[in-house]
Amino acid sequence: MSESKRIVPFLLLLFIAGSLPLLAQEAGAGRMKSALEAFGSGTYQDALLGFREVILDNDAQKLHGAAYYWLARSEMALKNYDDAARDLEYFLENFPKSSFYRDGSYWKGRLLFLQNDFDNAIRALYDFIEAYPDHEFVANAYYWIGESLFALGHLEKAQRIFNLIITDYPASFKVEASRYRLSLIEMKEREEELMRLLKMSHEEYLSALEEFQRREKMYDQAISGYQRKLTALTANDKEALVQELSSDLDAKEQEIADLKRQISQLSQRGNEGVGFISVPETADSREELLSLKMKALTLKELYIEWLLDQEEGK
């Protein structure tokens, strides 16, 4: 075989050996493309498997950063939040120059929210906003800060964040969601105010009822004592007057008994739960009942005063 014929196969082998890394990279790129297409179509399990294959391919190391990012995103979509947190953190620590690094910083805060770690979600999202104030996800980051504040019960702070989105980011698709949250906050504030008024009304009612019961007991004891003394009176005119007052007192005591029954029924309804619309009506009813009972007590006071006058005149 001539020398020239021997050189040709050797050059061919060199060409094939030099092309192998390129072919391997093309294979990794093909798997990456398929995994991204699966993610885009919503078949996240297939996407997850594809990104893992890319990560396991040593010849596709240039794609590992992107693969870890999208692996974490796939795990989030599948609600595998612990796995997503681990892989996303690995991505952020090891691939700071990746073109997906800024997006990954945003998704870290988003993931913390999904894990109900609202305080850390707020911190991570604020860090993202401060680091990348011109990023397209800034409005989204503010929105999830607002949602975190809402979940923590900081309604006024959440309200300010949602208003900021509407004012400063009117083109964001989170504007409508922010308006909806603001309406919920307004409803919740009204609910809390009504609950506060209901509690205040109930406490005032209980206080007034307690005071009435105390006075009623005191007057009943005084009347019982004076009634025993009246039995010793013999004058006909006094006896007639006592009978008249006793009849009037019996009628008022029956009225008090009726009022007690109404208050008991009212309390039972209160324990079963009172709707917000009926709060004013319930408060007025209780006030009216207490007013009637106080009038009955006033009659008892007049009766006692008369008895005292009779005793002083003996």
Domains of the chain: 20-95 (1.25.40), 100-173 (1.25.40.10), 195-312 (no CATH)
Report how far residue 291's alpha carbon sits from residue 298's, in angstroms, rounded to the nearest whole number: 11
Are residues 281 and 265 in contact, defined by beta-carbon separation less than 8 angstroms? Answer: no
CB atoms within 10 A of CB 59: 15
Handedness of CA 293, 297, 298, 302 (dihedral sign): positive
Are residues 124 and 108 in contact, defined by beta-carbon separation less than 8 angstroms? Answer: yes
Q: What is the pLDDT of residue 33?
A: 94
* Helical segments of 132-174, H only: 138-151, 155-168
Q: What is the pLDDT of residue 29?
A: 87
Report how far residue 129's alpha carbon sits from residue 106's, in angstroms, rounded to the nearest whole number: 8
Report how far residue 223's alpha carbon sits from residue 233's, in angstroms, rounded to the nearest whole number: 15
Q: What are 20's two structure tokens?
A: 């192998």
Residues of the chain with pLDDT under 50: 1-24, 273-281, 314
pLDDT single digits (tens) 189-209: 777 777 777 776 666 666 666
DSSP code at position 230: H
pLDDT single digits (tens) 2-19: 444 444 343 333 333 333
CB atoms within 10 A of CB 152: 14
Q: Which of 64, 308, 223, 307 is nearest to 72 (CA)?
A: 64
